[in-house]
Amino acid sequence: MAIWFARSRNITHFLRTKISPFEIIVNQRCSNYSFFHANSSFKTMAGESYSRKVTELCMDKSSAAILAFRRPESAIAGGQIEAVPYTTDDDEDDENQAMEFPGGKVGFTLEMNFISESPGKRIPCYRVLDDDGYPLAGSRFEQVDEETAVRMYKSMVTLQIMDTIFYEAQRQGRISFYLTSMGEEAINIATAAALTSDDIIVPQYREPGILLWRGFTLEEFANQLFGTKKDIGKGRQMPIHYGSNEHNYFTVSSPLATQLPQAAGIAYSLKMDNKEACVVAFTGDGATSEGDFHAGMNFAAVMDAPVMFICRNNGWAISTPTSEQFRSDGVVVKGQAYGIRSIRVDGNDTLAVYSAIRAAREMIIREQKPILVEALTYRVGHHSTSDDSTKYRPLNEIEHWKTARSPLAIFRKWVQRNGWWTDKEEIELRGSIRKQVLDAIQAAEKTEKCSLEDMFTDVYDRLPSNLQEQEKSLRETVKRHKQDFPTDVPV
C-alpha cells in the first residue's frame, strides 16, 4: 500500500477526460435504446426519424459495450480473469490509476464524494396508452392481433366478475376468506398472454388471472374456495391458495416472499436442463422489505438464473403506504444494486405490460439472465376480506383509480376503437360470465367436502406411527364433540 500512496500523484490522470458531453448523451441514449429496441422485435407507431438517429449513433459504438448483457469478466464467480486496465492517451503507468480488488479493478478519485441517497429524478415509467385508450405519440410496443386482444379483454372482464361474486360469497358466509385482484387485471392477463405455457409461475396471491388464462376453469376456482373433494389441493389450503401442476403454477404460500429464493432455484434448474423457458415470480411492494426478496434477487443474479421478478407495486402493503415501506425510488432501482436489468412499467396499461413482459422474456431466454419488472398499479379493492381499506385511504383516491385509471376501461377503449368490440358484446359477455360463476358456486356448495383422511395422506409412503396416533385421536375427538365440528366433512 505504501507504493500506492507514494505514487498517488499519478491519480490526477483520472481527472482528465476526452469524452465530450455529446458522447455522454449518446451513451445514455444508447443504453436506454438498447433495452426495448435492440433487444426485442418491437414495432413503432411514430418517432421513426428519432429512432434512426439514435440507432446510427449507437451502431457507431462497440456492440459489445452497448448491447452485451453480462457481468465484467473479472467478476465471474470462480474465475481468475485479468481485468482490462483503464487507459487514456496520456497514461503511461496504469498501476497508478486503480487497485486490484475482487470483482475487478477499482479506480481512484481525489474527490471525497458520497453517493446520493436519491438520484433526484425518478425512474420513468414505460407507457403505451393514455387514460383514454389512445397510443401515445412515438410509443413503441408489441403489436397485438384482434384474436389475442379480444381474448385478453374477455379474460380481464371474467377476472373482475369472478372477484366480485366470490367476494360477495365470503361476505354472505359461504366461504371463509377471499382476496381480489381488482385494479390489477392488466398485470394478470397481459403477463399471462406474453408468456408461454412452459414458463413456470411462482405466484404471491393476487395472480389468479394467469391460471384463468391458462385454462383453469371457474368450477376449479370454486372447488378450491369451497374445499370440495374435487379440489386439486384436497381442501388442505385456505381459500385463494390455488395451485396446478398441469398449468405450471406453483401453489400459493401465505408467508411473504418465501417463493422468491425458490423461484431463483427453480430457474437455475431450468438452466441446467437447457430448457427454453423461464420462471416468473410475483411479489408485492410490501414483500420487498422481507429478507427473502433480497436473497432471491442476489441468488438469481450471481447464478445467472433465467427468472423474471415482477413486483406489483400497488401503493399499499395492507395499511402501510410505500412512503413508509422504503425510501428508495420504488422497487425498480433495487435491481441495479444486485446487477439485475430492470424496468418500470405502467401496470394499468395492458399494452405496456404485454410489451414489457414479452421483451423481458425474450432477453431472459436468449441471455439466461434475471430481470426485475416493477409494475405501478393500484389496489382498488380491500387487501382481503379481513381488511377495510377505507380506514386508511381516502375514498376519492380509491374512486379515481377505480374509474379514471381502470385498466379494463383503458384497454376496452383501445380494443373498441379498433372495431374489435361492441357495447352489445359487452352486455352479453358480462351476463354470461356472471351466470357461469354463480352456477360454479352452486355446484361447489352441493359437492361433498374432502375427507378427514386427506389431512394425513400424500406426504409419506407409509403413514408413520405418530401421525397414525394423531388421526385416531382426531376421529375420537370428533365423535365425542360432534356439535363442534362441521357435519359435511366425511369422517
For the chain, give every domain's residue range.
2-107, 146-446, 456-484
Q: Is the pLDDT of residue 10 over 60?
A: no
pLDDT in tens, 312-350: 999 999 999 999 999 999 999 999 999 999 999 999 999
* Residue 487 banded pLDDT, cuts 50, 70, 90: confident
CB atoms within 10 A of CB 110: 9
The active-site residue, picked from 48, 73, 82, 168, is 168
Distance CA 32, CA 406 (A): 29
Structure confidence at residue 488 (pLDDT): 86
Percent of the chain with pLDDT over 70: 80
The active-site residue, picked from 8, 41, 63, 254, is 254
pLDDT in tens, 385-407: 999 999 999 999 999 999 999 99
* Residue 82 banded pLDDT, cuts 50, 70, 90: very low
The active-site residue, picked from 37, 241, 247, 383, is 383
pLDDT in tens, 131-186: 999 999 999 999 999 999 999 999 999 999 999 999 999 999 999 999 999 999 99
The answer to whether residue 254 is catalytic is yes
Winning range, highest mean pLDDT, from 11-20, 73-82, 187-196: 187-196
End-to-end CA distance of the chain: 76
- Three cell numbers, residue 59: 451502431
Residues contacting 141, CB < 8 A, separation 6+ = 42, 43, 45, 128, 135, 351, 352, 354, 355
**In the beta sheet, which residues pair with residue 345?**
126, 375
* Residue 96 banded pLDDT, cuts 50, 70, 90: low
CB atoms within 10 A of CB 31: 12
pTM of the model: 0.80
CATH 3.40.50.970 for the 146-446 domain, yes or no: yes
The answer to whether residue 168 is catalytic is yes
Q: Is the pLDDT of residue 373 over 70?
A: yes
The answer to whether residue 294 is catalytic is no
The active-site residue, picked from 181, 384, 389, 406, is 384
CB of 429 within 8 A of CB of 468? no
